[in-house]
Amino acid sequence: MDSNNIPALSVSALTSLIKDTFNQNFPYLNILGEVSNFRPSSTGHWYFSLKDNNASISVVMFKNNTWKVDRLLKEGDKIQIFGTLDVYAPRGTYSIKCDKISFIGTGDILANLEKRKQAYKEAGWFDESLKKPICKYPTKIGVVTSPTTAALQDILQVLSRRAPFLDVVIIPCVVQGENAAPSIAKAIEVANTFDICDQLIVSRGGGSIEDLLPFSEEVVLKAILDSDIPIISGVGHEIDFALSDFVSDLRAPTPSAAAELASSGYNQLISKREDLEKDLNNALSSKVSYLQEKVNKYDLKNLNSLILSKIESIYYRSVNATNDIELAQNNKLTNFTNRYKLAKLEIDSLNPKSILKKGYSIVRNKDNKIINSKKRVKCDDDITITFIDGDISAKVGK
């Protein structure tokens, strides 16, 4: 064919031609298939894939039609959809614009997966007794995943934030397609053979149920069971599951959650350290505030008033002490005066002269000895009689 005779078309013109061809040849479609990769948007539209064993096609159902559907779609639902074939020009892709959905039952893929899950459970592959304890303080963490996935970046980001001192070893493998299951199993075996790490994460990001099937293959499950290294399974998003979740020693809902579980021991230590630092800082802050308050009392602005207050206090105490001393002295003096007067009265009462005032007199012999009995004098003895106002001499008569 001579290319010179073929008219040139713009991309837009070609896309428009394809769209017209679709509309003319496929006016309205009735398609059977299984739901995969269902993604409801915040605007109310539904996006998902419809597939069988050999092919897949994108489907969109706008919110003006989604309200007609009894429930949300889920992975593996077998449905019948009605709609038209549409071409999205900016990307050059085609999809089914769905108007109506009828539920037929559970898809073959999901049904087979549930059947296998029950068989492995009955065989004891999921028993808790087979679970190995997760390493609380690992020094090296291995990650079995594709090195190009966003899941790996999520894991590395979480570990760098929560435990940046940990060594992370990536054991690369294929996580999607026919060769994925043997590749994942081989990576787990390599990690154990060379004792690469003391904690292993087997992971990939979200996807359709078919995308996650390699993590449900028996070769992968057996490699996990035979592993001496504890394994955390972090496959897909929270709503996804793979049989590796049930065989692994610990299941995480997402790759990021797997990294959090692997570093949880260190995170608890870091949290405890942060609490201790907080308590220490609070104690130091309280002590500094107390000392600052003490220092502020001696600030230059307050020093003058503080000194005056001290002087006033000392002066007040001095005045009170002086008054107390004077009062004590007066009390002592009064006490001594009263005692002196009392003693003087007692002494005066014993003084012979006080007796003479009452009219008594004292008689002495010539030897100046007091005569207190008539038997001690004889006739013609010379005596001296003492009165209050003086002495007289006398002679004793008959």
Give 40-48 contacts, CB < 8 A, sequence gap 24+.
40/72, 46/73, 46/98, 48/73
Last residue in a domain, options 53, 82, 106: 106
How many other CB atoms are found less than 10 A from the CB of residue 358? 7
pTM, two decimal places:
0.54
pLDDT at 151: 92
Last residue in a domain, options 205, 235, 262: 262
pLDDT in tens, 87-128: 888 888 889 999 999 888 666 777 788 889 999 999 999 999
Cα 77 from chain centroid? 43
Contact 58, 83 (CB under 8 A): no
**Furthest-apart CA atoms within the chain: distance in Å:** 205
pLDDT at 260: 93
| CATH classification at residue 203 | 3.40.50.2300
**Gap between the Cα atoms of 91 and 161, Å rounded:** 38
- Rounded alpha-carbon distances, angstroms, from residue 29 to 49, 61, 86: 15, 14, 11
Per-position b or e across 180-191, b if 16+ CB within 10 A of its CB: bbbbbbbbbeeb
State the total domains in the chain: 3
Low-confidence ranges of the chain (pLDDT < 50): none
Contact 138, 264 (CB under 8 A): no
Same domain, 94 and 22: yes
Residue position matching structure tokens 């949290």: 271
| CATH classification at residue 73 | 2.40.50.140
In a domain, 235, yes or no: yes
Same domain, 161 and 207: yes
Same domain, 86 and 144: no
pLDDT at 267: 77
**Gap between the Cα atoms of 157 and 353, Å rounded:** 123
Which has the closest alpha carbon to 134: 202, 225, 229? 229
Structure tokens that stand for 220 in this block: 């992968």
In a domain, 303, yes or no: no
Structural domain for 245, as ranges: 139-262
